[in-house]
């Protein structure tokens, strides 16, 4: 819309003070009326748009430092050094899939960029990913463009939401996705590069650039990478992808957008101590999709006491409460209050829909647990998204080529 009429106003972003909103809007109403009623100029009637420029296939040649500086100036990176996506490197990356290079996996908002298999591979190379990560990345893009993931909101919101990727199935071990000690810490190519590649894909193909389309106020370190595998071998329950309707033998990636993370110490190592710590540490302002990460010993303790994942979700939904005056809906003028109690001191549930909650088992020895929360208000249509990972026909050969690429730490 090259000739759209714009009337700027000065209401603070996401303001909830009616008087301030009204005063600032009243100040510009005459300009709004004029912009809506003034006859169009000839230029406005027939605006001229620029034809998209043809981009050369090879955009830059040089040594690694020169490539990185050029890419950085173009805004194509994430601030860390990039691997130059040469023709040879991209060709090798494409060995991780049977799909043709020009196959469009999806259209990524906000620019509706076409996520072809080759463009996914280019960003994967830049992120330091390996060909064995391509099936995960392709499935992750499918999850990203699913309307229930709501990337259109969370990729550009002021809320600084970060995509969290949870990987299930045999592919976890085949590509060395960490689900044990330090799974969310640096040190594993798969966890680091898969998340980083998806961040570059969202930015470079989807067009969500920091401070331009991505309006996150504080930002989020999880946007560098937030990838974890579920430790299925140590779990007494069905893994996440089975809960989401896939077969146990399938491999899958699940997606949701949190913007906060709490690492908490349970009040005891029995079921009462574990569950009490969860319900008393949920934040009232986080009323959407929530992921509880339990360590294998915590999961075993709950299972021995008769708890299933569904029972845990229901318990959290029914018992995580706060006094009404501590709930955002009590204060916010735009939110419906029909379900709030009359007495501000009465308790209200924080997560009224148990389907907002998922429980996974991950992490190493120790007694800490994790709560990822913040995505999607209930009733908004946003849901957990899980996509099956499709492996290429010669998957065994690709895996065998990179099977020994794992860290071997010297023992002191």
- Upstream peptide bond of 110 is cis (omega within 30 degrees of 0): yes
Closest to 146 measured CA to CA, from 239, 223, 257, 227: 257
Give residue 406's pLDDT.
Answer: 92
Closest to 207 measured CA to CA, from 58, 84, 107: 107
Residue 301 has pLDDT above 90, yes or no: yes
Q: How confident is the model at residue 334 (pLDDT cuts 50, 70, 90)?
A: low
Q: Cα-flanking dihedrals φ and ψ of residue 239, to 5°? A: -70, 170
Instruction: In whole angstroms, give the CA distance from residue 158 to residue 49.
Output: 30
- How much is the average pLDDT of 275-303? 95
Give residue 306's pLDDT.
Answer: 98
SS3 category, 208: coil
Q: Which residues pair with 262 in a beta bridge?
A: 371
Token pair for residue 395? 């998957």
- How much is the average pLDDT of 373-400? 88
Phi and psi based region of residue 59 (left: phi greater than 0; alpha: psi -120 to 50; beta: remaining): alpha
- ∠ CA(16), CA(21), CA(24), 5° rounding? 150
More confident residue, 180 or 381: 180
Give residue 380's pLDDT.
Answer: 73
Q: Which residues pair with 263 in a beta bridge?
A: 370
Cβ atoms of 353 and 317 closer than 8 Å: yes
- Which strands sit side by side in the sheet containing 164-168, from one edge to the other? 227-229, 164-168, 252-256, 385-388
Token pair for residue 199? 């961040």
- How much is the average pLDDT of 33-37? 96
Q: Cα-flanking dihedrals φ and ψ of residue 260, to 5°? A: -150, 155
Give residue 65's pLDDT.
Answer: 96
Cβ atoms within 10 Å of 326's Cβ, excluding its own? 17
Give residue 329's pLDDT.
Answer: 79
More confident residue, 232 or 343: 232
If you average pLDDT over every residue of the chain, what do you get? 94
Closest to 253 measured CA to CA, from 150, 136, 170, 154: 136
State the SS3 of 367-391: CCEEEEEEECCCCCCCCCEEEECCC
Q: How confident is the model at residue 192 (pLDDT cuts 50, 70, 90)?
A: very high
- ∠ CA(111), CA(163), CA(107), 5° rounding? 30
Closest to 133 measured CA to CA, from 401, 408, 409: 401
Q: How confident is the model at residue 375 (pLDDT cuts 50, 70, 90)?
A: low
Q: How confident is the model at residue 336 (pLDDT cuts 50, 70, 90)?
A: low
Give the pairing type, strands 260-264 and 347-349: unpaired
Question: Which pTM does this prediction carry?
Answer: 0.93
Closest to 253 measured CA to CA, from 404, 149, 156, 128: 149
pLDDT tens digits for 174-184?
Answer: 999 999 999 99
| Long-range contact pairs involving 304-309 (C-beta distance under 8 Å, separation at least 24) | 305/270, 305/271, 307/271, 307/275, 308/237, 309/237, 309/238, 309/243, 309/358, 309/359
């Amino acid at each position: 819309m090259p000739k759209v009429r714009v009337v700027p106003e000065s209401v603070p972003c996401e303001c909830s003070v009616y008087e301030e909103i009204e005063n600032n809007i009243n100040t510009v109403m005459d300009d709004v009326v004029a912009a809506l009623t003034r006859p169009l100029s000839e230029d406005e009637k027939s605006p001229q748009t620029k034809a998209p420029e043809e981009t050369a296939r090879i955009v830059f040649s040089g040594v690694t430092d020169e490539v990185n500086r050029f890419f950085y100036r173009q805004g194509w990176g994430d601030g860390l050094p990039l691997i130059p996506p040469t023709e040879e490197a991209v060709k090798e990356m494409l060995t991780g899939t049977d799909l043709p290079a020009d196959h469009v996996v999806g259209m990524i908002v906000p620019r509706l960029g076409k996520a072809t298999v080759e463009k996914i591979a280019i960003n994967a190379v830049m992120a330091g990913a390996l060909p064995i990560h391509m099936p995960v990345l392709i499935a992750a893009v499918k999850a990203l463009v699913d309307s229930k993931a709501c990337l259109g909101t969370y990729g550009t919101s002021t809320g600084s939401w970060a995509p969290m990727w949870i990987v299930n199935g045999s592919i976890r071990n085949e590509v060395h996705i960490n689900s044990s000690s330090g799974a969310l810490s640096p040190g594993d190519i798969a966890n680091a590069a898969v998340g980083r590649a998806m961040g570059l894909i969202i930015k470079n193909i989807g067009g969500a650039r920091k401070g331009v389309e991505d309006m996150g106020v504080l930002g989020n370190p999880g946007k560098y990478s937030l990838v974890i595998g579920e430790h299925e071998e140590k779990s007494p329950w069905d893994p996440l992808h089975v809960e989401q309707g896939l077969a146990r033998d399938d491999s899958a990636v699940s997606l949701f957008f949190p913007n906060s993370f709490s690492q908490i110490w349970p009040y005891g190592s029995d079921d009462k101590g574990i569950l009490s710590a969860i319900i008393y540490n949920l934040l009232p302002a986080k009323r959407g999709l929530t992921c509880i990460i339990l360590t294998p010993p915590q999961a075993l303790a709950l299972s021995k006491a008769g708890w299933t994942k569904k029972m845990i979700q229901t318990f959290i939904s029914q018992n995580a409460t706060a006094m009404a005056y501590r709930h955002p809906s009590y204060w916010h003028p735009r939110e419906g209050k029909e379900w709030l109690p009359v007495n501000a001191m009465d308790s209200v549930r924080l997560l009224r829909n148990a389907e907002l909650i998922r429980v996974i088992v991950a992490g190493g020895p120790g007694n800490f647990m994790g709560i990822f929360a913040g995505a999607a208000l209930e009733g908004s249509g946003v849901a957990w998204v899980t996509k099956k990972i499709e492996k290429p026909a010669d998957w065994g050969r690709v895996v065998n080529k990179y099977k020994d690429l794992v860290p071997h730490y010297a023992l002191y």
